[in-house]
């Protein structure tokens, strides 16, 4: 009966004019009632978990059942179940949530501290924490709760901090079409260092874009009239950080891309262009880089020989570069290590009179080069 009345009220609200609910008081009240409804739903999920009715459907857990039946991400289903359990264990927090004074986000933070080492202290202090959660901004409450946790479980907090730092990870790799995709996970200290510098450089790019747009338009530009989006400026700022890092050492030099332009009978359209790492590019990609990039010309002659033109880059020699362009990766049939991780190996060993020529050279990664030159045990 109560649920039917709720559905009817929501149906009526759903067809109402959103403009009638756009004043500040209505917006706040809607969020408050949404929090109240969320608390009831979480309590119901926790009770459903206790009832174990989900077992009859063959689910391994209430969270798995909820994720399937409600089409939720598994992590979100677990979050809702944990929030319901937390509210059941902490009545003062549950009451504050039911009144709409806090939401699931605050309860989720508190749930993170409901563990054996802090359970008793949390139950003792839950009135105080519920008051902080209902009066402070979310960010301030998160900070207060963290400090509370340091006092409640100092050893556990230190262990958690070590584990948090151990989660640091950077993934950056080219996709099939040459675009680099990545993900960054940093601990708070390292993340702050990187984020602050990235923000500083992004702001410098923003000022440059705004100045250029102001000069072009003759007036103060709108944000959508700037040359780059915020994401593009951050990407350019990250590249600038790498360039400055490479230039910083005493023997450093500003990194520039090396474009290889192939010319020869094997080229279908008369020319192809790619980076030294083998990533193909449209020839027009060279244009923005002509003033600072290194460019080399590689001509394939009959016999699969590569003749290297002039290149403004440090090489061990044109012979090596020709082999790199020809082989592209470790030539061992069970290896795909890229060219920049390979060594040039003599097919006929130098010690046996093998010449240092393209015909007698090949790329091998360090592992297969050592394997090839290691005699098998007797």
267 pairs with which residues across the strands?
none
pLDDT of residue 73: 93
pLDDT of residue 354: 76
For residue 108, CA distances in Å to 7, 80, 137, 183, 223 come to 27, 9, 15, 25, 36
- Give 10-residue mean pLDDT values along the chain (378 residues): 90 90 92 96 95 91 92 93 94 96 95 90 94 93 90 85 87 85 88 89 93 93 92 93 84 67 49 62 64 61 56 53 85 84 83 78 85 59
Per the listing, tokens 């601990």 go with 187
pLDDT of residue 266: 43
Distant-in-sequence, close-in-space partners of 339: CB < 8 Å, separation ≥ 6: 276, 277, 278, 324, 327, 328, 329, 363
CA angle 328, 320, 304 (to 5 degrees): 60
d(CA 198, CA 202): 6
d(CA 363, CA 2): 74
pLDDT of residue 205: 94
Contact yes or no for 293/243 (Cβ under 8 A): no
pLDDT of residue 121: 93
Distant-in-sequence, close-in-space partners of 358: CB < 8 Å, separation ≥ 6: 305, 306, 319, 322, 323, 326
Domain range list for the chain: 23-165, 173-247, 258-373
Q: Pairing relation of β-strands 305-308 and 294-301?
A: antiparallel
Contact yes or no for 233/209 (Cβ under 8 A): yes
d(CA 369, CA 360): 14
Read off the pTM: 0.57
d(CA 346, CA 331): 12
Task: Identify which of 329, 334, 220 has the alpha carbon closest to the alpha carbon of residue 276.
Answer: 329
């Amino acid at each position: 009966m109560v649920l039917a009345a709720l559905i009817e009220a929501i149906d009526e609200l759903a067809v109402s004019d959103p403009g009638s609910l756009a004043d500040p008081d209505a917006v706040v009240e809607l969020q408050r009632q949404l929090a109240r409804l969320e608390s009831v739903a979480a309590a119901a999920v926790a009770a459903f978990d206790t009832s174990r009715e989900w077992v009859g459907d063959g689910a391994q857990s209430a969270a798995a059942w909820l994720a399937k039946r409600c089409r939720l991400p598994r992590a979100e289903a677990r979050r809702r179940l944990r929030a319901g359990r937390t509210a059941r264990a902490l009545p003062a927090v549950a009451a504050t949530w039911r009144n709409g004074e806090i939401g699931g986000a605050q309860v989720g933070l508190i749930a993170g501290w409901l563990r054996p080492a802090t359970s008793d202290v949390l139950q003792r202090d839950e009135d105080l924490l519920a008051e902080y959660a209902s009066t402070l901004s979310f960010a301030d409450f998160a900070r207060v709760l963290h400090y509370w946790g340091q006092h409640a479980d100092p050893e556990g907090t230190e262990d958690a901090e070590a584990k948090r730092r151990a989660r640091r990870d950077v993934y950056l790799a080219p996709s099939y079409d040459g675009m680099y995709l990545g993900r960054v996970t940093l601990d708070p200290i390292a993340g702050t260092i990187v984020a602050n510098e990235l923000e500083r450089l992004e702001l410098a790019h923003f000022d440059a874009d705004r100045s250029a747009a102001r000069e072009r338009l003759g007036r103060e530009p709108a944000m959508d009239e700037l040359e780059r989006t915020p994401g593009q400026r951050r990407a350019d700022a990250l590249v600038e950080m790498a360039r400055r890092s490479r230039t910083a050492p005493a023997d450093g030099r500003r990194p520039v891309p090396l474009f290889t332009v192939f010319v020869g009978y094997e080229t279908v359209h008369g020319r192809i262009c790619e980076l030294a790492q083998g990533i193909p590019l449209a020839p027009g990609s060279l244009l923005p880089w002509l003033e600072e990039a290194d460019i080399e010309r590689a001509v394939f002659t009959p016999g699969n020989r590569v003749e290297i033109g002039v290149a403004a880059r440090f090489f061990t020699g044109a012979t090596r570069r020709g082999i790199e362009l020809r082989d592209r990766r470790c030539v061992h049939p069970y290896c795909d290590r890229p060219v920049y991780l390979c060594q040039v190996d003599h097919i006929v060993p130098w010690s046996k009179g093998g010449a240092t020529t393209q015909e007698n050279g090949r790329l091998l990664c360090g592992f297969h080069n050592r394997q090839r030159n290691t005699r098998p045990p007797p």
